[in-house]
């Protein structure tokens, strides 16, 4: 028999047979050519020529586990000694040792080969296979000498995977130690191993028994309502993960309770879950990453590697691959089956959607006044709903829904649904007939408002009523049982959730949850109870169920109120629900008042219209006026908006207008935001139907703005102006909708063929869905068709006969432009507000409207032409706010190349015209400030200024230099270095001294804002040339501008620039001013120096600078003040004295930190005098001159 086919567990071989096979193997391994022994060809494991004879390996000092081992070893040695050159194969020796069960000797042999770096595959495979060390169930040993064979002590436990875990230190080297203690230990381990194996086999058996077949799994997936039962293995894995999560989250009591309820599982050991089951990540990781649960037993396969031969291993691997391939094929088939199911379901739903849309269109055409839109809470319509739009099929009776059709569900309603059928209230004496009539409910007729809102707008308006039906409890609340049978079903669903909370209701949170669970029971009882008094008590309990309900709890109560209202009808809503709201209107908790405010809006569609426009409106008006909580007033505004969506009494228009003005003036931003997002669009929709939008509402706001401007000649109330103008801005989308819907082309609009797409940037971003023009019109498809006709009408046919558009062009625009000309151009807030208004107006009405209707009216008023230059005065139109608003609100609406060129040309013309006419530059400055706030226009503004830099007129160049000061603060340093500084240096060398002086403020601003050292050095050199060049010594205007700039930028400039440049030059200027002969110039310089030193006194000044520059400069200025204004001499003397004290303290080491002159004056008599004089100095130029006049 070949060595590779030796069976190590064949115990029937005798010693003679072993010796015979050994001799035969030796003879077959000899070389046939020369008779010398040699290694077998192709055997890489044969020993080299210089290695020790194999007999030495067998003659180890370790004792074999049997007596026969000695004789066999000797026999082998004798055979080897018979021929000194005979060599044996290492693999042959290993095979012989394994065949005769010399396990320890083979293990020693294997270890020595590993240490020599010559691993033998036969030994490696044998000792790595756990199957070789389990007790065999074959024939028992033939003799007592073989009791330590394969079933002996080496087979300790089935749980031992390899011989690496065997404790061979337990076996001594003398070969005769078999104590009773070792036998007892091994017998105990054997029993434990058998128990473990039995438990694991039981787990595998359970998993195999509970596994669901592939066909059954397909049935589960094809029928989603049938849930696949949980397997035992899955349950144990989930239990382990849940217990682990509870312990990590410190829910110790819950973990203990959970462990007690699952006493058949060991939660401390994952291996207790099942055999060969990898532990998944924790619950948090599974939730975040969508991780899978533990693999099912069907997906895990145990593969045992046999030790018989390599062919067995290959066969088992091939079988494993085939099994995996079969599994993957099953998975692919299941996924394909699921895809086919989903595709068919998708086609079915698409067909149902088409049928429902057709039904909606039919109902809209057949019903003149649509019913009140119920609160759609997001659920889908029933798939089996019959389509009424198919005339070929008879109208089938409605299919009974779940729960025997005895629930009123408000979740699945659509806009075209018929109002729900509910039972009117019955007298308490007719209880039996009351329940009998529940079987045949009479439809309740709700008051239908005479309104024409689009379904999209109405649905968007009702979406501001926050409902809750996504959860189990929300679904239970949103439907109300109307029979004894359905009540029983509801109780069966709700009580299991209520009872545990009753038992554990010790904390406030648990009590609140319990109260939520009671809501459907209270509502059901209040609906069905025959006694009005009891019903009133139940509704009182509902509104007082939770002391301070949070958002979720309020939504649950509101959902129940709406379900109740739809179930009982408007009469009982008025008689039973509204009194509960009225009682809570002045409750001390704002959450309860908030519930009242939200209830008024949610119940509005189900109330009688007289109550809607009288009692409810008055309640909300009272809360808006008196309530102090911002969130309550915000909810009141939203509920008022819903009321405006259902009100149809024209006499209530003045009250609605006053409510709008009252809300606009609210101090809370939340309330103002709600008025713009919800109330104004709903109010505008109503005024549009009344025909008041263009004739009453917008003219009323414009007249208030004009009145405000007339009253504000001595001080405009900018807050009220913003209030009225923002309301006008919110009315732009409704105004454009009126223009589209009343256009001559409206009758030609058809939703067929290719519908034009609407550009994403066609309209400004709406503040809410109610301000979206598509929502107001009805749909984006309708809007796309109307916009295409609108652009064609404006471009080719004009506005003849288009009344709503003519009102905008001939009345609204001229009035707005006139108002713009009267606002204060220096008020950046007003300029910004009107600029945003015109921008939104032009973007909403479109580019063609802007180019043909808006721009011509502005251009006609501005009259930018050369012949009008000389006629301009300080009160000309170019000095008004019309210029910045036209530039920033109209010319920036569109950002094409032609639009940018038009804006550049306009700004260049304005700069040239204002400069040549010596007019104030406030309008140009306002334009630069508004445009400079947006980095998109920085390059454009620099282009305009470069035009002024190279202009032939010195006046224009002076204006350009002064505009750089406004632009530097917002421009990035790269543009400052590349575009601004070169332009300013060019102007600083201008032949005209006035141009050079005009660059000083811009240079100062650069020193204040820029951080690049190279750039700062260039600017400092330029300023130094102004101060040190002899040609500027007598330039009084230049010195005044430099001192003013130093006082403005010094406190914020880089400390090094302030210390090395500003303070020394101020000292020099103060010293020179002492010798100034012209009194007027001396007064001007002293005034500017006083303001500059006052500003710089709050900065940190080092001791050296204090001694060398700051104190000497103050003393020079004090000398001027002694002659010009003796009352200021005391202030300066106090400042000098404090500086000297600080210097003395600093020298003694008692004072640390910065020198702050202004802070040192606190607490002294000089403070009052200083501040009073400073107040006089900053009042006006005339008073400054009087202050510094010499006393006579």
Mean pLDDT of 155-184: 49
pLDDT tier, 875 (very low <50, low <70, confident <90, very high otherwise): low
More reliable by pLDDT, 812 or 348: 812
pLDDT tier, 674 (very low <50, low <70, confident <90, very high otherwise): very high
Residue 1188, Cβ density class (10 Å: 0-12 exposed, 13-18 middle, ≥19 buried) = buried
- 1019-1024-1026 Cα angle (round to 5): 100
pLDDT tens digits along 255-282: 888 888 888 888 888 877 876 677 888 8
Asked if pLDDT for residue 218 goes beyond 70, the answer is: no
pLDDT tens digits along 518-559: 777 787 878 778 888 888 888 888 888 888 888 888 888 888
| Dist CA 858 CA 850 (whole Å) | 11
DSSP 8-state code for residue 443: B
Asked if pLDDT for residue 675 goes beyond 90, the answer is: yes
Asked if pLDDT for residue 331 goes beyond 70, the answer is: yes
Quickly count: other Cβ atoms within 10 Å of residue 774's Cβ.
21
Q: Are 66 and 146 in contact (CB under 8 A)?
A: yes
pLDDT tier, 594 (very low <50, low <70, confident <90, very high otherwise): very high
Instruction: Give the pLDDT score at 53.
Output: 40
pLDDT tier, 40 (very low <50, low <70, confident <90, very high otherwise): very low
Q: Which residues have a Cβ under 8 Å from the Cβ of 50 and sit 6 or more positions away?
A: none
Task: Enter the tokens of residue 39.
Answer: 């290694």
pLDDT tens digits along 979-1001: 999 999 999 988 999 999 999 99
Instruction: Give the pLDDT score at 280.
Output: 85
More reliable by pLDDT, 1030 or 704: 704
Q: Are 478 and 377 in contact (CB under 8 A)?
A: yes
Tell me the angle at which helices 780-792 and 732-741 cross, rounded to the nearest 10 degrees. 70
pLDDT tier, 478 (very low <50, low <70, confident <90, very high otherwise): low
Which residues partner with 594 through β-bridges?
none
Q: Which residues have a Cβ under 8 Å from the Cβ of 477 and sit 6 or more positions away?
A: 468, 469, 519, 520, 523, 556, 559, 560, 563
pLDDT tens digits along 1160-1174: 444 444 445 444 544
pLDDT tens digits along 789-845: 999 999 988 888 899 999 999 999 999 999 998 888 888 889 999 999 999 999 999
**Highest mean pLDDT out of 138-152, 874-888, 907-921, 1116-1130:** 907-921
Instruction: Give the pLDDT score at 774.
Output: 92
Asked if pLDDT for residue 212 goes beyond 60, the answer is: no
Instruction: Give the pLDDT score at 166.
Output: 46
pLDDT tier, 313 (very low <50, low <70, confident <90, very high otherwise): low
Asked if pLDDT for residue 56 goes beyond 90, the answer is: no
Q: What are phi and psi of 130, to 5 degrees?
A: -65, -20
Instruction: Give the pLDDT score at 681.
Output: 95
Task: Enter the tokens of residue 1003.
Answer: 């240079």
| Dist CA 992 CA 996 (whole Å) | 7
Mean pLDDT of 68-75: 39
- 1054-1059-1063 Cα angle (round to 5): 115
Instruction: Give the pLDDT score at 648.
Output: 86
Cα–Cα distance list, 667 to 33, 637, 663, 671, 682 (Å): 115, 14, 9, 8, 22
Average pLDDT over all residues of the chain:
74
Instruction: Give the pLDDT score at 142.
Output: 40
pLDDT tens digits along 703-749: 999 999 888 766 778 889 999 999 999 999 999 999 999 999 888 87
Q: Are 623 and 593 in contact (CB under 8 A)?
A: yes
Asked if pLDDT for residue 298 goes beyond 70, the answer is: no
Query: What percent of the chain is modeled with pLDDT above 70?
Result: 67
Quickly count: other Cβ atoms within 10 Å of residue 966's Cβ.
21
Which residues partner with 407 through β-bridges?
481
pLDDT tens digits along 612-670: 888 899 999 999 999 999 999 999 999 999 999 998 889 999 999 999 999 999 999 99
Task: Enter the tokens of residue 1128.
Answer: 């200021």
Q: What are phi and psi of 452, to 5 degrees?
A: -130, 35
Residue 688, Cβ density class (10 Å: 0-12 exposed, 13-18 middle, ≥19 buried) = buried
User: Count of residues for the chain?
Assistant: 1192
pLDDT tens digits along 941-965: 999 999 999 999 999 999 999 999 8
Lowest mean pLDDT, pick from 220-234, 313-327, 891-905, 1050-1064: 220-234
DSSP structure string for 388-435: TT-TTS--PPPPP-TGGG-EEESSS--TTPPPPB-PPP--TT-HHHHH
């Amino acid at each position: 028999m070949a060595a590779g086919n030796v069976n190590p567990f064949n115990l029937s071989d005798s010693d003679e047979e072993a010796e015979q096979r050994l001799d035969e193997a030796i003879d077959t391994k000899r070389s046939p050519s020369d008779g010398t022994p040699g290694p077998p060809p192709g055997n890489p494991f044969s020993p080299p020529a210089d290695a020790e004879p194999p007999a030495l390996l067998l003659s180890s000092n370790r004792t074999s586990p049997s007596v026969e081992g000695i004789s066999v070893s000797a026999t082998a040695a004798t055979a080897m000694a018979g021929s000194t050159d005979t060599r044996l194969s290492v693999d042959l020796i290993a095979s012989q040792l394994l065949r005769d069960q010399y396990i320890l000797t083979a293990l020693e042999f294997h270890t020595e080969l590993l240490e020599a770096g010559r691993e033998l595959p036969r030994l490696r495979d044998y000792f790595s296979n756990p199957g070789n060390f389990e007790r065999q169930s074959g024939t028992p040993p033939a003799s007592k000498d073989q009791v330590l064979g394969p079933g002996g002590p080496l087979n300790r436990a089935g749980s031992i995977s390899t011989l690496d875990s065997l404790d061979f230190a337990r076996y001594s080297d003398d070969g005769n130690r078999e104590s009773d203690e070792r036998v007892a230990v091994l017998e105990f381990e054997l029993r434990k191993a058998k128990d473990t194996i039995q438990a694991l086999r039981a787990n595998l058996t359970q998993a195999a028994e509970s596994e669901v077949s592939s066909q059954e799994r397909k049935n589960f997936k094809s029928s989603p309502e049938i849930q696949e039962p949980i397997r035992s293995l899955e349950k144990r894995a989930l239990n382990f993960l849940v217990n682990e999560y509870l312990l990590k989250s410190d829910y110790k009591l819950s973990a203990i309770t959970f462990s007690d309820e699952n006493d058949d599982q060991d939660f401390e050991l994952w291996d207790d879950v099942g055999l060969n089951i990898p532990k998944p990540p924790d619950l948090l990781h599974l939730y975040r990453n969508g991780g899978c649960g533990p693999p099912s037993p069907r997906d895990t396969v145990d593969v045992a590697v046999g030790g018989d031969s390599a062919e067995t291993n290959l066969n088992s691997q091939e079988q494993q691959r085939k099994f995996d391939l079969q599994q993957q094929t099953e998975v692919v088939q299941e996924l394909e089956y699921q895809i086919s199911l989903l595709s068919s379901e998708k086609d079915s739903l698409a067909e149902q959607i088409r049928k429902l849309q057709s039904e909606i269109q039919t109902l809209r055409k057949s019903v003149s006044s649509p019913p009140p839109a119920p609160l759609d809470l997001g659920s889908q319509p029933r798939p089996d709903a019959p389509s009424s739009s198919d005339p070929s099929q008879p109208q089938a009776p409605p299919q009974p829904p779940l729960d025997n059709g005895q629930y009123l569900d408000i979740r699945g309603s659509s806009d075209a649904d018929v109002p729900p059928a509910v039972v009117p209230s019955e007298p308490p004496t007719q209880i039996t007939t009351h329940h009998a009539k529940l079987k045949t409910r009479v439809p309740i007729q709700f008051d239908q408002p005479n309104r024409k809102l689009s379904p999209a707008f109405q649905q968007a308006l009702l979406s501001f009523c926050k409902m809750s039906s996504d959860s189990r409890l929300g679904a239970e609340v949103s439907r109300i049982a109307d029979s004894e049978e359905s009540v029983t079903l509801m109780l069966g669903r709700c009580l299991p959730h209520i009872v545990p909370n009753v038992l554990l209701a010790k904390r406030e949170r648990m009590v609140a949850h319990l109260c939520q669970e009671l809501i459907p029971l209270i509502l059901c009882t209040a609906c069905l109870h025959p006694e009005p008094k009891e019903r009133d008590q139940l509704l009182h309990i509902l509104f007082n169920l939770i002391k301070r309900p949070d958002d979720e709890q309020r939504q649950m109560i509101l959902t129940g109120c709406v379900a109740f209202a739809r179930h009982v009808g408007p009469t009982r809503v008025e008689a039973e629900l509204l009194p509960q709201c009225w009682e809570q209107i002045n409750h001390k908790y704002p959450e309860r008042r908030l519930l009242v405010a939200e209830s008024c809006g949610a119940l509005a569609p189900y109330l009688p219209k007289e109550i809607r426009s009288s009692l409810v409106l008055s309640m909300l008006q009272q809360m808006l006026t008196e309530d102090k909580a911002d969130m309550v007033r915000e909810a009141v505004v939203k509920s008022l908006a819903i009321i405006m969506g259902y009100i149809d009494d024209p006499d209530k228009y003045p009250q609605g207008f006053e409510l709008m003005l009252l809300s606009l003036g609210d101090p809370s931003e939340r309330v103002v935001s709600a008025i713009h997002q919800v109330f104004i669009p709903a109010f505008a929709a109503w005024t549009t139907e009344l025909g008041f939008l263009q004739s009453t509402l917008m003219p009323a706001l414009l007249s208030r703005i004009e009145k405000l401007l007339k009253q504000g000649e001595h001080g405009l109330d900018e807050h009220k102006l913003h209030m009225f103008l923002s309301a006008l801005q919110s009315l732009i989308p409704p105004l454009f909708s009126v223009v589209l819907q009343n256009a001559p082309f409206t009758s030609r609009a058809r939703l067929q063929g290719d519908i034009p797409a609407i550009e994403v940037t066609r309209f400004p971003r709406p503040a809410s869905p109610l301000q979206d023009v598509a929502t107001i019109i009805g749909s984006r498809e309708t809007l796309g068709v109307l916009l295409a006709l609108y652009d064609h009408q404006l471009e080719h046919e004009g506005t003849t006969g288009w009344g709503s558009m003519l009102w905008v062009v001939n009345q609204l625009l001229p009035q707005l432009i006139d108002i713009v000309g009267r606002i204060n151009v220096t008020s950046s807030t007003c300029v910004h507000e009107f600029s945003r208004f015109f921008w939104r107006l032009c973007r909403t009405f479109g580019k063609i409207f802007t180019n043909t209707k808006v721009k011509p009216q502005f251009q006609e008023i501005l009259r930018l032409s050369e012949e009008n230059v000389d006629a301009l005065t300080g009160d000309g139109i170019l000095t008004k706010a019309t210029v910045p608003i036209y530039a920033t609100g109209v010319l920036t609406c569109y950002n094409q190349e032609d639009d940018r060129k038009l804006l550049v040309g306009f700004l260049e013309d304005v700069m040239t015209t204002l400069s040549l006419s010596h007019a104030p530059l406030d309008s140009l400055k306002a334009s630069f400030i508004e445009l400079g706030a947006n980095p998109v226009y920085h390059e454009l503004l620099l282009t305009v200024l470069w035009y002024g830099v190279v202009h032939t007129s010195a006046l224009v160049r002076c204006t350009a230099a002064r505009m750089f000061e406004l632009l530097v603060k917002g421009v990035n340093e790269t543009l400052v270095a590349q575009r601004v500084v070169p332009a300013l240096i060019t102007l600083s060398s201008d032949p005209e001294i006035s141009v050079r002086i005009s660059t000083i403020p811009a240079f100062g601003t650069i020193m204040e804002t820029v951080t690049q050292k190279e750039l700062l050095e260039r600017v400092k050199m330029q300023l130094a040339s102004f101060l040190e060049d002899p040609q500027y010594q007598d330039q009084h205007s230049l010195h005044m501008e430099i001192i003013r700039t130093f006082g403005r930028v010094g406190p914020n400039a880089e400390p090094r620039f302030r210390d090395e440049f500003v303070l020394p030059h101020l000292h020099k200027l103060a010293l020179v001013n002492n010798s100034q002969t012209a009194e007027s110039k001396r007064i001007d310089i002293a005034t500017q120096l006083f303001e500059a030193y006052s500003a710089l006194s709050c900065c940190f000044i080092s001791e050296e600078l204090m001694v060398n520059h700051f104190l000497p400069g103050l003393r020079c200025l004090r000398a001027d003040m002694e002659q010009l204004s003796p009352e200021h001499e005391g202030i300066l003397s106090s400042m000098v004295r404090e500086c000297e004290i600080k210097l003395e303290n600093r020298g003694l080491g008692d004072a640390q930190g910065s020198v702050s002159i202004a802070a040192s004056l606190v607490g002294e008599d000089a403070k009052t005098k200083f501040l009073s004089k400073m107040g006089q100095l900053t009042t006006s130029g005339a008073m400054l001159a009087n202050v510094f006049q010499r006393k006579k």
